[in-house]
Amino acid sequence: MSLAIDKENYLLHKLHSLTGIIPVGYYMVQHLVLNSFTIAGPEKFNAVIGFFESMPKFFLLTLEVCAIWLPLVFHAVYGVFIVSRAKPNYFGSVYGWSQNLMYTLQRWTGIFLFLFLIVHVVTTTGAKYLKGSASVIEFDAWYTKLTSLHYIWLIFYMAGVAAASYHLAYGLWNFGIRWGITVSDKAQNTMQRFALGFFIVVTLIGWGALGGFLIHGNHTTPAESTSGQAQVSRTHSQLLATR
């Protein structure tokens, strides 16, 4: 029985590591890249939303459930189980190695992301399906959300992006070891440097996406501007006619 349990844990750990990269990690990176369309303006960002919403509803829902939510739920729940048994040995320990710090931060970011993703999913995808409209995840709704409550939501999402980027970057380093890809010390050190660069780049992409909402917030499209000018002209003409 003990051998069976050990084998099962070994396989679950391998599966946990794999799902953290594919599909969860891949989805996270492409999600942030597509969100960075905010830098190009509201129309470009809303066009991305429109593309996915134009898909048949059953296909989009099946894609979300099978390719995103089920792997993510497994990775998150089993990750919490791993954290519950973890024994960080960096702070207050003589083992002050960078790998031990990475391990400790991985566990902390995992717990934060577990809570962060619950809030994020409920207030975005959950709200979209509950309302039956994608307007709750379009540009104007995001701008209003991020700038409300004295920018607390913005700070929350900046922390979430940084935590997710670090969690994935460390996951890449750990994946290489767990799957026997980076065996030597040299290979692991090279992967560690790559993971650091990956963390910085992905974080900047995510923060850039958030910055796009602020840069183009309270925008007025050319059509709205023309409509507004026409309304002013009509009002002015009416005032002159009553004199």
Q: What percent of the chain has pLDDT over 70?
A: 81
Residue-level pLDDT at 6: 44
Rounded to 10°, the helix 24-35/185-215 angle is 30
Average pLDDT along the chain: 86
Residue 3 has pLDDT above 60, yes or no: no
pLDDT tops 50 at residue 156 = yes
Contacts of 42 (CB under 8 A, 6+ apart): 139, 140, 216, 219, 221
How far, in Å, CA of 207 to CA of 37, rounded?
Answer: 12
Domains in the chain: ranges and CATH: 2-241 (1.20.1300.10)
More confident residue, 93 or 141: 141
Neighbour tally for 7: CB within 10 Å: 10
Residues in contact with 154: Cβ distance below 8 Å, sequence separation at least 6, in sequence order: 146, 147, 210, 214
The mean per-residue pLDDT over the stretch 149-173 comes to 97
> What's the mean pLDDT in 141-149?
96
Between CA 72 and CA 75 the distance in angstroms is 5
Q: Which class for 204: exposed (0-12), middle (13-18), buried (19 or more C-beta within 10 A)?
A: middle
Q: What amino acid is encoded at 16 in this protein?
A: H
36 alpha-carbon distance from chain centroid: 11
Burial 63-77 (b: 16+ CB within 10 A, else e): eeeeebeebbeebbe
The pLDDT value given to residue 9: 78
Instruction: Find the radius of gyration of the CA atoms of the chain.
Output: 23
Determine the angle formed by the axes of helices 152-178 and 2-21, rounding to 10 degrees. 120
Least confident of 8-17, 46-55, 140-149, 223-232: 223-232
- Which of the residue ranges 11-20, 65-74, 126-135, 211-220 would you say has the lowest mean pLDDT? 211-220
Q: What per-residue confidence (pLDDT) applies to 104? A: 86
Q: pLDDT by residue (tens digit) across 208-241? A: 999 999 999 875 444 443 344 444 344 444 444 4
Q: Reply yes or no on whether the pLDDT at 26 is more than 60.
A: yes
DSSP code, position 149 = G
pLDDT at 212: 97
94 pLDDT exceeds 70? no
